[in-house]
Chains A and B, each alone.
Chain A
Amino acid sequence: MISTSPPPDGCQADGSNAGSSAAETLLDVSGLSVSFPAGRQRATVVRNVDLQVRPGETVAVVGESGSGKSVTALAITRLLDYAGGRIDAGTLAFRLRDGASLDLARAPQERMRQLRGPEIAMVFQEPMTSLNPVLRIGNQIAEAVMLHQGLGAAAAREEARRMLERVRIPEAGRQLDRYPFQLSGGMRQRVMIAMALSCRPRLLIADEPTTALDVTVQAQVLRLMRALQQEMGMSLLFITHDMGVVAEIADRVVVMRDGLVVEQGDVGAIFARPQQDYTRRLLAAVPVLGSLAGENLPRPFPENGKEPPPQDTVDAAHKPVLEVDRLVTRFEVRRGLLGRSVGRIHAVEHVSFMVRPGETLGLVGESGCGKSTTGRSIIRLEQPEAGSIRLDGEDVTELTADSEKLLRRAVQYVFQDPFASLDPRLTIGFSVAEPIRTHDLLRGRAVEERVGALLEQVGLGGGYSRRYPHELSGGQRQRVCIARALASEPRLIIADEAVAALDVSIRSQVVNLLMDLQRRLGVAYLFISHDMAVVERIAHRVAVMYLGQIVEIGPRGAVLGDPQHAYTRRLLAAVPIPDPARRGHERALDDSEVPSPMRRHDDPPEVAPLVRVGPDHYVARHRIGGLF
């Protein structure tokens, strides 16, 4: 299985010699198998896994959902016991500070508890739920310090403050008394890291620590983890699905699939010369920002090693299918005794753009920038305050019976979460048929035939129509959502982070499906996404949003290839590049946060028309807020 074997490991041969610390293995996982109860039997989810972590080394475990990478981490920390899992076989040899070796797989829970914190610490994926909501963050950090270092309350609090400073949290002293809900996701993840590092662990396990974060925040957190690792000289076991992140941070890579180690080796070797077919496919499916540099048209992801032709589907001769003019959507923020309005969230502020038939406009930006609210305002899931929306030249800003009918039929929406957007109690066929019945497009047998044809079109057989959502995988469900969106023969589909929740190999398939449908049906997309590399593949034009405003809009080649706005450049610079050879360049990134789009009533945001900088390419030259 292991084709690119790690350098011969000195530890096993002369384990008694504690002096050779560089070669000494800190953690040696050998033959690990883990099972969970599944009905009356047990399901083995990790089989015979071998991996080593040496002092000061970063080992990345990569794999798609269900690969067993997180369970491996849970087994090492033995949090597995609390999750219902069981180690069936294998050893987890951990080298303690005094040089003795302990098998974590057989250590009693009380011994493990003593190791958690000072020896092994862990940072989890979800910073929003991993901190206790009812305790102040200072106390949450100090708790571990008091426990493992025997410090008093005051000294532990001081240590907590020092740790917050260390993870670059501004005004650390003031933050100690705040609660988690008062901090942003990026700040919470810093608090998690501060907590994990507060007892100076020798092994830090990070399970998808940046997956839930925005790309600029992800870059900040990755840089921080790397810096702290060097300062403190600890080992890092980094679990991720993101090859870009692996290339940024790992020394060695372990590729997992279906509970098995597929391949492991040096990061350079894995990327340059993957030995296993699965690794090759995984790497091929990773969208690489810049892979279409110099081209202007979108191009589907390569399939079976072949690069498909570019996609020229825009119909410039006809009227735009969607024209949005100076759209404004704001939310009042009410506080105090009588719920007085204290300010407004300027979610969408004078946003203008159009989408031509057969065109894909990528709408990108970080969380809270207003990209989803823009999409939701168009279909009136939110009520815009001002501006106009035209479909095929027809004004649908005021919803009359006629214009609502037009809007509901001509524009369809695909949401991010394919698990939540299908009714679990209805069959797939019923869900897909619903728009056909609602708009009275067909009747009787014809509906069923059309549903079959639609499912066929998205790559699912007609047999799926009798199944229920829980029988389908995430990718299949998202195909069903797309089939449902197509059912009313829309002119425009708004895809709101429609591929964000999918595994990387499924993601490229669904993107290719969307592009294929565009080629065949001429449908236009408003493709809302935070993923610049996917947008590069699918979009003809790109609009970048920041604090509710579009700061740059233009042809994809121009916006991504020659960005004219400082924020666009910052966003692009933060995207991790899945190529370890290009890691060296320490990009100039500040630790600032994107400010809140909430403003006081007497402090309205500055708005101004965008300035033309090239053919069809416009940029904001006025001050938006924050750094830009």
Chain B
Amino acid sequence: MIAFLARRALGILPVLVCVSLFSFGFVRMLPGDPARLLAGPDATLQEVRAVRISLGLNKPLWQQYLTYIRQTLVGKLGTSARTGQPVAKVIGERFMPTFWLTVAAMAWSTVIGVALGVLAGVRRGQWQDQTSMVLAVSGISFPAFWLGLLLIDLFSVRLHWLPTGGEEGWRSFILPSFTLGVAVAAVMARFTRSAFVEVAGEDYVRTARMKGVLERRVIWKHTFRNALIPVITMAGLQFGFLLGGSIVIETVFAWPGLGRLLVDSVNYRDYPVIQAEILLFSLEFVLINLLVDVLYAVVNPEIRLQ
């Protein structure tokens, strides 16, 4: 298991190099002077010159790359052109709200989605299956912004139970995490159902029944665990997407997260922040993939032992 983990961790090194190259190349591939772009639209000539010197933009590319890596590793990601604050601080402030919102949304939607999926799989073709799948399709099709607005109208404006937006205390999490999780729960339910149905047709499930195993145990011990692998993959992907911050949800609920930061940065051409967000999103996916691999190994001994 340790060798497996070490091998997987080593395996992400080349990916990290690619990610850093992409993030590094982002500003340099745009037309125009990178120093000008990074300094921001309102920068003075001196400021542009200062950026040029600090990034070594007059030196060969490989030296610039090494400078970029060195500075990134110590967290020096430049200065936001919009606010003048260090990029690391800007991103750091926005990351945690998005992170906790994502965790809340993933937690409920995974539990509910998987449970609905198993129910639909076990009662395939019956009313439980049809109801679950109608719910799932609705969840995917329902536009999140509209759902969010409806919920605000009901629970905040009419009933005054929950805040309309902002991030203050646990009650402010309820509406955005619910809205964010609906589509995820729907996707998870569909995925779990199809994985479950597929595994339920496997020979070893028939073997378990032939042993006279209780149906409950056939479902959870023999079917569910084997059906988990595609579900884990899907959960990892969803987690990665949500961690990028949902522009729609954060706008509707005035949530101070990465999604809105990205929109603001793009509108203002705040390239240092955009560059850092690219790096962050890529790193998140790499780490989540590593986590998914570890979960595979926990579930499947064949991956762990070979």
CB 8 Å contact bits of B193-225 with A (1 = contact, 0 = none): 000000000111011111111110000011001
Size bin of chain A's contact surface: 35 or more
* Interface presence of A309 (CB below 8 A): no
Interfacial chain B residues near A77, Cβ < 8 Å: 210
Contact B222 A132 (CB under 8 A): yes
CA distance in complex: A87, B193 (Å): 28
Bits for A136-167, please: 1 = Cβ < 8 Å to B, else 0: 00000001100110000000000000000000
Asked if B168 is an interface residue, CB under 8 A from chain A, the answer is: no
In the complex, what's the smallest C-beta–C-beta distance from A7 to chain B, in angstroms? 31
- Count residues of B near A (Cβ-Cβ below 8 Å): 27
Question: A130-B204, A337-B3 are known contacts. Are A79 and B302 too (CB-CB below 8 A)?
Answer: no
CB of B67 within 8 Å of the partner chain: no
Contact with A along B284-306 (1 / 0, CB 8 A): 00000000000000011110011
Residue A251, interface by CB 8 Å: no
Which residues of B lie under 8 Å from residue A135 when comparing CB positions?
Answer: 221-222
* Distance between Cα atoms of A113 and B208 in the complex (Å): 11
Q: Taking A133-B226, A337-B10 as contacts, is the C-beta distance between A121 and B210 under 8 angstroms?
A: yes
CB pair A124–B226 under 8 Å, yes or no, is no
Chain B proximity of A345: nearest CB distance (Å): 15
Contact with A along B1-24 (1 / 0, CB 8 A): 001001100100000000000000
Smallest Cβ-Cβ distance to A196: which chain B residue = B210
A131 within 8 Å of B (CB atoms): yes
Contact with A along B274-285 (1 / 0, CB 8 A): 000000000000
Interface presence of A5 (CB below 8 A)? no
A134 within 8 Å of B by Cβ? yes
Q: Does A46 contact B (CB under 8 A)?
A: no
How far in angstroms is the closest Cβ of chain A from B148?
Answer: 40
Q: How many interface contacts (CB-CB < 8 Å) are there between A and B?
A: 85
With a cutoff of 8 Å between Cβ atoms, the chain A residues found around residue B226 in the complex are: 132-134
B209 touches A117 (CB 8 A): no
| From A118, A133, A336, A337, contact of B302 by CB (8 A) | A133
A337 engages B210 (CB within 8 Å):
no
Question: Smallest CB–CB gap between B69 and chain A, Å?
Answer: 24
Say yes or no: A337 contacts B6, CB within 8 Å. yes
Q: Which residues of A contact B6 (CB under 8 A)?
A: 337
Shortest CB-to-CB span from A96 to chain B, Å, is 15
| A530 is an interface residue with CB less than 8 A from chain B | no
Q: Is the CB of B299 within 8 A of A143?
A: no
Is A116's CB under 8 angstroms from B302's CB? Answer: no
Q: Mark A199-236, 1 if CB is under 8 A from B, else 0.
A: 10000000000000000000000000000000000000
Contact (Cβ within 8 A) B300 A133: yes
CB < 8 Å: which of B214, B225, B301 contacts A113?
B214
CB proximity to A under 8 Å, residues B157-209: 202-204, 206-209
Taking CB atoms, residues of chain B closer than 8 Å to A199 are 212
A179 to chain B, nearest CB (A): 5
- When distances are taken between beta carbons in the complex, the residues of chain A under 8 Å from B306 are 335
Q: Which residues on the B side are within 8 Å of A304 (C-beta)?
A: none
Main secondary structure of the interface of B (DSSP, over half): helix
Please give the distance in Å from A111's CB to the nearest CB on chain B: 11
| A179 lies within 8 A of B305 (CB) | yes
CA distance A77 to B212 in the complex (A): 10
A116 to B206 CA separation, bound complex (whole angstroms): 11
A118-B212 in contact (CB<8A): yes
- List, in ascending order, chain B residues with CB within 8 A of A143's CB: 208, 211, 213
CA distance A132 to B302 in the complex (A): 12
Residues of chain B lying within 8 A (CB to CB) of residue A116 = 209-212
Question: Which residues of chain B are near A147, meaning CB under 8 Å?
Answer: 211-214
Pairwise interchain contact B209-A82, C-beta atoms closer than 8 A: yes
A195 CA to B208 CA, complexed, in Å: 10
0/1 per residue, A40-83, Cβ < 8 Å to B? 00000000000000000000000000000000000001010010
**B-chain residues with CB within 8 Å of residue A121 when the two chains form the complex:** 210
Q: How long is the Cα–Cα vector from A509 to B25 in the complex, in angstroms?
A: 66
CB within 8 Å of B: which A309-347 residues: 335-339
Question: In the bound complex, how far is the Cα of B208 from the Cα of A192, in angstroms?
Answer: 11
CB A153 to nearest CB in B, in angstroms, measures: 15
A144 and B212 in contact, given A82-B206, A130-B207, A179-B305 (Cβ under 8 angstroms): yes
Contact B3 A79 (CB under 8 A): no
- Greatest chain A CB density within 10 A among B3, B207, B209 is at B207
**Closest Cβ neighbor of A195 among chain B residues:** B211
Question: Which residues on the B side are within 8 Å of A196 (C-beta)?
Answer: 210
A124 contacts B301, C-beta separation under 8 Å: no
Is A115 interfacial (CB-CB < 8 Å)? Answer: yes
A114 at the interface (CB under 8 A from B): yes
Q: Which residue of the partner chain B has the closest CB to A83?
A: B206
Most B CB within 10 A of own CB, among A77, A114, A143 = A143
Decide if A195 touches B212 in the complex (CB within 8 Å). Answer: no
Q: Are A124 and B302 in contact (CB under 8 A)?
A: no
Q: Quick check: B212 and A115 within 8 Å, CB to CB?
A: yes
Whether the pair A79, B210 counts as a contact (CB closer than 8 A) is yes
Note all chain A residues with C-beta closer than 8 A to B206: 79, 82, 124, 130
A12 is an interface residue with CB less than 8 A from chain B: no
Report A79-117 residues with CB < 8 Å from chain B CB: 79, 82, 113-117
| A278 within 8 A of partner (CB) | no
* A291 close to chain B: CB less than 8 A: no
Chain B residues closer than 8 Å to A130, beta-carbon distance: 203-204, 206-207
A129-B202, A337-B10 known; A79 and B209 CB under 8 Å? yes
A17 CB to nearest chain B CB (Å): 30
Question: Which residues from chain A contact B214 at a C-beta distance below 8 Å?
Answer: 113, 147
How distant is the Cα of A126 from the Cα of B10 in the complex, in angstroms?
Answer: 38
With both chains docked as a complex, state the minimum distance between the C-beta of A144 and any C-beta of chain B, in angstroms: 4
Measured between C-beta atoms, what is the minimum distance from B241 to chain A in Å?
28
A131-B301 contact in complex given A122-B210, A144-B212, A147-B212, C-beta closer than 8 Å:
no
State A131–B302 Cα separation when bound (angstroms): 13
Q: Contacts A181-B302, A337-B3, A337-B7: A132 and B212 contacting too (C-beta < 8 A)?
A: no
Is A400 an interface position by the 8 A CB rule?
no
The answer on a CB contact under 8 Å between A117 and B211 is: yes
Residue of B at shortest CB range from A141?
B211
B299: contacting residue among A134, A148, A182, CB under 8 A: A134
CB contacts (< 8 Å) of B212 on chain A: these are: 113-118, 144, 147-148, 199
Q: Are B211 and A336 neighbours in the complex by a CB distance under 8 Å? A: no
The smallest beta-carbon distance between A118 and chain B, in angstroms, is 7
CA–CA, A414 and B222, complex, Å: 38
Chain B min CB distance to A156 (Å):
12
- Chain B residues within 8 Å of A181, by CB: 301-302
Return A81 CB to nearest CB of chain B, in Å. 10
A405 CA / B211 CA spacing, docked (Å): 56
- Hey, what's the 0/1 contact readout for B222-233 against A, CB within 8 Å counting as 1? 100110000000
Minimum CB–CB distance from A208 to chain B (whole Å) comes to 12
Do the beta carbons of A134 and B211 come within 8 Å of each other?
no
Known: A113-B209, A337-B6. 20 other contacts (CB 8 A): A82-B209, A113-B214, A113-B215, A117-B211, A117-B212, A124-B207, A130-B203, A132-B207, A132-B208, A132-B226, A133-B226, A134-B225, A134-B299, A135-B222, A143-B211, A144-B211, A147-B213, A179-B305, A181-B302, A336-B7
Q: What are 11 contact pairs spanning A and B, CB under 8 A?
A: A113-B213, A122-B210, A124-B207, A133-B226, A133-B302, A144-B213, A147-B213, A179-B301, A181-B301, A192-B207, A335-B306
Among all A-B residue pairs, the 10 with the closest Cβ atoms: A117-B212, A116-B212, A144-B211, A129-B203, A132-B204, A130-B203, A179-B301, A122-B210, A181-B302, A130-B207
